[in-house]
Amino acid sequence: RVPPTVQLVLFGGGGDLAHRKLVPALYDLHREGHLPAEVDVVGVDMAEMDDGGFASFACDAATSLGRFFPKDAANQDWDAFEERLAYVQGDVTQAETFERLRERLDALAPDGEAPHRVFYLSVAPFLVEPIVRGLTEAHLLDDIVRSRIVIEKPFGHDLESARALDRTLTETIDESQVYRIDHYLGKETVQNMLAFRFANVLFEPIWDARYVDHVQITVAETVGVEHRGGYYEGAGALRDMVQNHLLQLLCLVAMEPPVAFQADEVRNKKVDVLRAVRPIAPDRVHEVAVRGQYGSGFLGGAEVPAYRAEPNVDPHSTTETYAALKLEVDNWRWHGVPFYLRTGKRMPRRVSEVSVQFRPVPHRAFPAGADEAWQPNRLVIRIQPDEGIVLRFQAKRPGPSMLLHPVAMRFDYDDAFETPPEAYETLLLDAIRGDATLFMRADQVETAWEVVQPVLDAWADSPPAEFPNYASGTWGPAAADRMLAHDGRSWFEPL
């Protein structure tokens, strides 16, 4: 249920994420009628702006990046939305900023029921603590039920700093008030993995080590580091993508069925998967983890620069822009089934998919030569783009003799449904409603750090000798192919 009165405060309200994702998502929610009638959206940032300046910033964001074009003459919707916008300029390390924020929020709040307040922290990690302190001292987080904070990733820089941040947060506020966001969990295709697995009888009985040979999770991007070199240099692909997005996908593929679709129940089942991931021994890191950095190359018909030549990147940078891992989940269901994860920037195509490769049939009774093209069954969950699910199986090729041929059954979102909402729309609405199911609990984030920490440590101790080691427009370093070849497997060419 959406509370009747909501005040949403965007720290970093004048920033990049607000412009690209948050404001367009809020406007789209407004257009769809999902926001409560009494809603205020208050931007907080250092930039010198007044309410009008913030409204122009928001209009520009919604116009260029929202799903609905806001400003045609007949469009009353934008005016109604614009009326809900306000801006507080200030330095979040200063207590007086929070005093002014509280005064503004109180003045905007309608008489009657106290509003729900959602504080969205789209800021650099070092500002999280000062903001939480400022909000607490201004008594803006006193109401455990009606006030919450949403924290953008990266949540910590490693296991130790994530734990320290969690300790600070729980000293001041209740864990139930903290919404750690991983925007992949808001993607419809990612949420659909639960529906697909647990609302159908067909797949779950074969979803285990008896029938599954291995699983591949690929998140490939064509973009380079863009203008985010300053952040990315200190992060790299393992922190930026694997610790959060890819491990969350792994959880959804591997988790046990929840008893109820409730926040803690779903999160318990997911954290069980991470706890079952076999810890990577320091002396095995080189066998199960591969890093890469893109060099220059050709992509989309144009020459693109090497990572080391990107703005705000050290010309001798050792930051990885590609990471691949082999993980094993030590529990009954997944005993002996490897999960191969890979992600990289400047890959040939933007594609994210989860491939479940089933085992071969135990006995092939077909005549000699019939099954030359035979392939084991594979289920591909396509997360983006061309969202859908594809099941590969064998068919008889029409003709006088028995010849097997792989074919595919395909479900396309576009054919079945209308345009799905953006991930940030889903997650913002959930934060407004106070539904934490799709957000990360402290133990999930920390356990995910535990999984990658041995690799982070090993990589920090031994700088890569051969960076760059893959050309832009290719599928990553040769070492990643060797890692699978060692197991007698290879990466699938994405569909």
Q: Which residues bind ligand BG6 (CB under 6 A)?
A: 221, 240
Cα–Cα dist 124/68, whole Å? 29
* Known catalytic residue at 34: no
C-beta of 172 vs 384, nearer to ligand BG6: 384
Give the whole-angstrom CA distance, residue 56 versus residue 72: 15
Question: What's phi and psi for 408, nearest 5 deg?
Answer: -135, 140
Do 397 and 416 form a contact (C-beta atoms < 8 A)? no
Closest distance to ligand BG6 from the beta carbon of 240 (Å): 5
Min CB(350)–ligand BG6 separation in Å: 8
Dist CA 476 CA 348 (whole Å): 9
- The closest of 310, 273, 318, 271 to 291, measured between CA atoms, is 318
Residue whose C-alpha is closest to residue 13's, from 76, 77, 104: 104
Q: What angle do CA 22, 24, 26 make, to 5 degrees?
A: 65
Taking the alpha carbons at both ends of the chain, their separation in whole angstroms is 39
In the complex, minimum distance from the CB of residue 430 to ligand BG6, in angstroms, rounded to a whole number: 17
Count other C-beta atoms under 10 Å from residue 318's C-beta.
Answer: 17
**In this structure, how many other beta carbons lie within 10 angstroms of the beta carbon of residue 132?**
23
**Residue positions in the annotated binding site for NADP(+)?**
91-92, 153
CA distances from 243 to 336, 394, 441 (A): 22, 36, 14
Q: Which residue, 240 or 320, is less far from ligand BG6 as judged by CB?
A: 240
Q: CB burial class (10 A; 0-12, 13-18, 19+) of residue 33? A: exposed
- Please give the Cα distance from 447 to 274 (Å, whole number): 6
Q: Check if the beta carbon of residue 234 is closer than 8 Å to that of residue 460.
A: no
Element (H, E) at 338: strand 338-344
Cis upstream peptide for 362 (omega within 30°): no
Binding site per annotation, positions for substrate: 183, 187, 221, 240, 345
Residue whose C-alpha is closest to residue 127's, from 221, 6, 218, 11: 11
The CA distance from 182 to 427, in Å, is: 9
The whole-angstrom separation of Cα 398 and Cα 350 is: 35
CA 395/CA 406 separation, integer angstroms:
6
Q: Rank residues 89 and 352 by Cβ distance to ligand BG6 and give the closer one.
A: 352
Q: What is the DSSP letter of 463?
A: -
Q: Residue 10 is encoded by which pair of tokens?
A: 């965007």
Q: Which is closer to ligand BG6, CB of 28 or CB of 240? A: 240
Q: DSSP assignment of 254-305, as one string?
A: HPPPPSSS-HHHHHHHHHHHHHHBPPPPGGGHHHHEEEE-EEEEEETTEEE-
Residue of 34, 116, 245, 286 marked catalytic: 245
* Assigned token pair, 206: 């074969």
Catalytic residues: 245
